[in-house]
Amino acid sequence: MVGSIWMPGSSGGVLSQKEIITIACSDMNTAILAQNSVSYFRAAASFVLTAVYASLFVASSSGLVTLDLNRNGATIFPVTKLSLGAGVKWSLSGGILPGIVTTTINIGDEFSIDIDAAGTGAKGLLVYVLGNLS
C-alpha cells in the first residue's frame, strides 16, 4: 500500500506532503524465515526518507526479528538494523530503530527487504517507510 497525506497549515495552505509506504513481507499464518528479498517496492516519487518502522501480527516468542532495507542493492542501515525483540509487535514499543544513512530517495529507486533474523514463531511482518515528498 502506498499513500500520501496532505498536512494542512493553519491558513488552510499545504505545509508538506508525507509519503507512507506499507510493505507486506509475509502472510499472517506462517512463521517468517531469515531470507533475502522477501518483498520489494519501487519509489513512485522522489522523497526524503524520515523513518522506517516494522510490525508483526504475532511477535517472536524468543530471539530478535531483524530486518534490512536495501536501496538499489545497498543497505540504508549500515550501522544498526531495524529489530523487534521477543514479545514485541511494533518497533516503536521496544524495538531497535535503525540508523538511516541514505535519506534522499529518487523516483524509480528499487527497494528490497531482507529478514536477517526471524526470531521464533513471528508472523505477519509489515514494514513502513515514511518520508516527505521532495
What domains can be seen in the chain, in order of their start residue? 2-133 (2.60.120)
The predicted structure's pLDDT at residue 65: 97
Look up the pTM and report it: 0.85
pLDDT level of residue 93 (50, 70, 90 thresholds): confident
Place of cell 523513518: 51
pLDDT of 7 strictly over 90? no
The predicted structure's pLDDT at residue 10: 40
Task: At 64, list the grid cell.
Answer: 530478535
Strand blocks (E) in the chain:
2-8, 14-24, 35-42, 47-55, 65-71, 74-75, 82-84, 95-96, 104-105, 110-118, 126-133
